[in-house]
Amino acid sequence: MIKFNLEKALAGDNIMTVKGEEVTQFVGFDLDNEYRFYGVLCGELESWNKIGKYTLKDKYTLRDKDHPNDLVMVPKRMEGFLNVNSNTCSSIHESKDRADFFLRMATGWLALTSHCSL
């Protein structure tokens, strides 16, 4: 899981709960209250503090405990070409040409280039 980043979340990067549920319409309000960040979770308006800890309806948060509704960043999808070589480290490349170039340089017994999405 990618640690929650308030600036990225407010800028529009996708966020979700620790249990994998999407949080939409995440906004912050300039109030004298630690719990000023709100979003929609499963059709309900919910709140979190600035480090992504879930705030219960009575404004109580378990600071030392994890909650399934705590926030994390949604991982970004990566796509590329993966070289797997039994003699050296594997590597991922943005283009097949670059992957093939490094594959030709490899001196291992087994080498393979494959397209992958992570």
Burial class, 37, CB count within 10 angstroms (exposed 0-12 / middle 13-18 / buried 19+): buried
- List the chain domain ranges: 2-73, 79-117
- For residue 55, the model assigns a pLDDT of 84
Both tokens of 112, joined, read 């393979």
Closest alpha carbon to 70 in 111, 112, 41: 41
Please name the residue that has the structure tokens 């990566």: 78
What is the rounded CA–CA span in Å between residue 114 and residue 7? 35
Predicted TM-score (pTM) of the model is 0.65
What is the rounded CA–CA span in Å between residue 25 and residue 39? 5
Band of the pLDDT at 109, cuts 50, 70, 90?
very low
Please name the residue that has the structure tokens 């800890």: 53
Instruction: Give the best-scoring range by mean pLDDT among 40-54, 76-90, 91-105.
Output: 40-54
